[in-house]
């Protein structure tokens, strides 16, 4: 009885603290036509303090969606266009010599913002990617002998093009694992694309919007997300899914043994739980259900599973493996 009362109270609190979500969706819809799935995934990352990697073909509004979400939140935004000649100092900043004072001063880079858009992130070499690691994981940046804490909320939202591989570099596994979600973006449907054509031709699409929520509201909402109730059965379900990706363990699925070279790390379990809670928050629910876990599983796991040569030879993708795991692991 006590648990039921607590859940009811939690539901009321979630309802009250999630009202701003509708304001953000309404504001972004003035600029973005369709792509509701992408906007929802960006909100998941925002609420769960998780970085998001968007992968999709050119022209699918990846960059525009990120810029629009940043505009909806009254927060600092910076955009970094990744190129092969980019240097770590171009991201985090560097020490500048001041001849009048005869000493060095710190000039901060674009990483010092609430929303950092890393556009075409796979176009820069590994030394540049490594500059992001400390910022993404530790929420801090070291320049010279000084370490600076990044202000909250801090979120890296990156894009990459899956087809144009000329002049690109594979992202290091250590960095890929630090993205909570890897979201694959698809084409809009016919009715959505018709609206895009009409609004663009008539000049009705906006390029900027007014902010509808402040930073403190986002920070408070993040605290509420972590309070959402998750039953032990749901926790066990998450662990069963993640352990099933580790084909070389006793918990791995036998038929996957020759297809998976490595599975999800403990960070996968943590992010799957957090993303499930964030989705429950978006649905204005004070508790997580198995469908929340299944809904976010592919986005959390697709970049955390390594395929063997045998799997690639048989044209088996990580999507196929995750689908098989979700269909095999018993739902509580």
Dihedral of CA atoms 73, 68, 56, 261 in degrees, nearest 10, equals -10
Per-residue pLDDT averaged across 20-26, rounded?
88
- Tell me the domain boundaries of the chain: 1-227, 229-332
Q: What pLDDT does residue 163 have?
A: 67
- pTM of this prediction exceeds 0.85: yes
**Residues 69-117: tens digit of each pLDDT:** 888 888 888 899 988 888 888 898 888 877 877 788 888 889 998 889 9
CA dist., res. 44 & res. 87, Å (int): 30
Backbone angles phi, psi at 169, to 5 degrees: -130, 140
**Higher-confidence position of 134 and 222:** 222
Q: How far apart are CA 158 and CA 55, in angstroms?
A: 9
pLDDT for residue 175 is more than 90: no
Let me know: does 38 contact 183? Beta carbons within 8 Å. yes
Architecture of the CATH domain 229-332 = Orthogonal Bundle (1.10)
Q: Is the pLDDT of residue 234 over 90?
A: yes
Fold type of domain 1-227: Rossmann fold (3.40.50)
């Amino acid at each position: 009885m006590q648990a039921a009362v607590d859940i009811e109270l939690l539901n009321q609190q979630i309802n009250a603290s999630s009202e701003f979500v509708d304001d953000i969706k309404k504001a972004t819809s003035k600029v973005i036509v369709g792509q509701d799935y992408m906007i929802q995934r960006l909100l998941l990352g925002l609420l769960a303090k998780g970085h998001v990697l968007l992968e999709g073909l050119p022209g699918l509004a990846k960059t525009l969606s990120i810029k629009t979400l940043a505009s909806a939140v009254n927060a600092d935004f910076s955009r970094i266009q990744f190129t092969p000649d980019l240097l770590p100092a171009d991201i985090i900043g560097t020490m500048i010599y001041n001849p009048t004072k005869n000493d060095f001063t710190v000039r901060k880079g674009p990483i010092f913002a609430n929303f950092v858009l890393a556009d075409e992130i796979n176009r820069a070499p590994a030394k540049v990617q490594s500059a992001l690691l400390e910022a993404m994981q530790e929420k801090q940046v070291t320049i010279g002998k000084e370490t600076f804490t990044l202000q909250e909320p801090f979120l890296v939202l990156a894009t990459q093009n899956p087809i144009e591989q000329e002049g690109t570099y594979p992202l290091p596994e250590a960095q890929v694992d630090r993205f909570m979600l890897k979201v694959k973006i698809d084409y809009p449907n016919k009715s959505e694309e018709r609206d895009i054509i009409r609004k663009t031709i008539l000049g009705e699409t906006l390029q900027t919007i007014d902010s509808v929520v402040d930073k403190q509201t986002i920070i408070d909402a993040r605290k509420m997300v972590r309070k959402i109730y998750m039953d032990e059965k749901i926790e066990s379900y998450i662990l069963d899914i993640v352990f099933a990706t580790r084909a070389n363990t006793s918990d791995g699925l036998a038929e996957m043994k020759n297809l998976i070279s490595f599975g999800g790390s403990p960070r996968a379990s943590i992010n799957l739980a957090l993303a499930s809670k964030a989705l429950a928050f978006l649905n204005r629910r004070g508790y997580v259900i198995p469908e929340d876990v299944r809904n976010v599983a592919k986005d959390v796991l697709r970049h955390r599973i390594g395929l063997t040569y045998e799997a690639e030879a048989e044209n088996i993708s990580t999507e196929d493996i995750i689908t098989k795991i979700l269909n095999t692991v018993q739902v509580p």
